[in-house]
Copies of this chain bind each other. A is one copy, B any other.
Amino acid sequence: MAATRASGTTAVRYGTMRDNVLALEVVLADGRIIRTGSRARKSSAGYDLTRLMIGSEGTLGIITEMTLKLHGQPEAVSAATCRFGSVADAVGCVIATIQSGLTVARIELLDEMMLRGFNAYQGSDLPEAPHLFVEFHGSPAGVGEQAQAFGDLAGEYGASAIRWTDRAEECRELWHMRHQAHYATGALDPGKRTLATDVCVPISRLAEAVTHAQALARELRLTSTIVGHVGDGNFHCGLRVDPGDADEVARIHRFTAALAENALRLGGTVTGEHGVGVGKIAYMSAEHGAAVAVMRSLKSALDPKGILNPGKMLPADDEG
C-alpha cells in the first residue's frame, strides 16, 4: 500500500485495509500451515479463507505472512481542510461528495472537541468547530476539477476557512496533524488516560450517530474527541478517563454501551476497525443474532480445543 494509506484513514479510492489483502500464510491450532488466496486479484476457487482469517483476532489461526496489493503514488494530489457550523453540515457535505461520484482518497471528520485537543497539544488557536480533512488523487486537471467540485459542495454546506494545498510537503504536514489525534486527545484533561472505541454506521445515518455520541458525552460529563473515517461511516471516540474514579469509569461504560447500541439501531456495527476482543463480546448476539452460533461452529471446527486466543470475540454458549 502507498504510504498515504497509513493509520487507517479512509480511502474510498483504495478500499478498506482488508480489501488490500490478497493472500495469507496461517498457522492453525493443530500446527498445520496453510496458504490462502494467491497473487491473482480475484478467485472463485473455493471458500474465501483469506477474508475469514482477516479480523478473526487470532481465534482461528495465526497469520504469519500476508500479500498486499500495492498502489502507485498518484501523479497529482490536492488536500484541503475546511470548517463547518455543525457536524450535520460536515457529514451532509461528505454524503453529497460521495453521491456526486467524486472519488476521495481520504476524507476525515474532526469534531469540536478534537480541535480543542489540537489547540491544547500544539499550542494553536484553531476555531473549535467541526472540520473535514479531504484529499484527492489523480491527474493534475482531474484533481483540480474534483477539488473545485468539492469546494462548491462544501460551500453549499456552509463551509468556511477552506484551505487547499497541492504541495506534497503541506499535504504531509496536514495529515501529520491528523495522525497526532491520539496525542492531542491526551492533551485534554491532563492526568487521565484515553480509552478509544469505534463504531460504523450506514453513511446516511452518520450525522445522527456522531451527534448522538456528542450529546451522550455531554450528558455523562465525559471528554470525548471524535475522529471519523467518514467515507466509510466509521468514527472513533477518544474518551478521557481516570481509572481510579469509579464513577467516571461507570459513566464511560454507559457511554460505550449506548454508543454501540445506537450504532446497531442505525443499521451499523459495534466496531468498524477496533474489533471485539472482550470489550464488545456483549454485543455480538445483538449484532449477529443466529449468526453467532455459526461463528461458534466455525471456531469449533478449526480450533476444537479452544487454544487460540480463548475467551475472545465469541460469547460463551450460555451468553448468547
Interface residues of A (CB under 8 A from B): 13, 15-16, 18-19, 28, 32-36, 38-49, 51-52, 54-56, 60, 71-75, 98-103, 137-146, 149, 200-203, 232-234, 263, 267-276, 280, 283-284, 287-295, 297-298, 300-302, 313-314
Contact = CB atoms under 8 A, between A and B. Distances in A.
Nearest to A299: B47
Contacts of A15: 15, 19
- Which 6 residue pairs are nearest across A and B when measured between Cβ atoms? A142-B142, A51-B51, A301-B301, A43-B269, A39-B202, A34-B291
A289 to B, nearest CB: 6
A34 B294 contact: yes
Contact of A72 (B34, B99, B283, B288): B99
A232 B72 CA distance: 16
Contact of A273 (B42, B51, B99): B42
Interface residue SS majority, chain A: loop
7 contacts: A16-B42, A38-B202, A40-B269, A41-B233, A43-B200, A52-B52, A300-B301
A34 to B, nearest CB: 4
Given A46-B291, A51-B51, 19 more contacts: A15-B19, A16-B41, A34-B290, A38-B269, A40-B263, A40-B268, A41-B234, A42-B232, A42-B269, A43-B269, A45-B269, A48-B54, A49-B291, A52-B52, A103-B138, A138-B142, A139-B149, A141-B141, A294-B302
Contact of A101 (B16, B73, B284, B293): B73
Contact of A103 (B103, B232, B280): B103
Contacts of A287: 38, 45-46
A72 B46 contact: no
A139 B234 CA distance: 27
A120 to B, nearest CB: 30
A102 B145 CA distance: 16
Nearest to A206: B40
A19 to B, nearest CB: 6
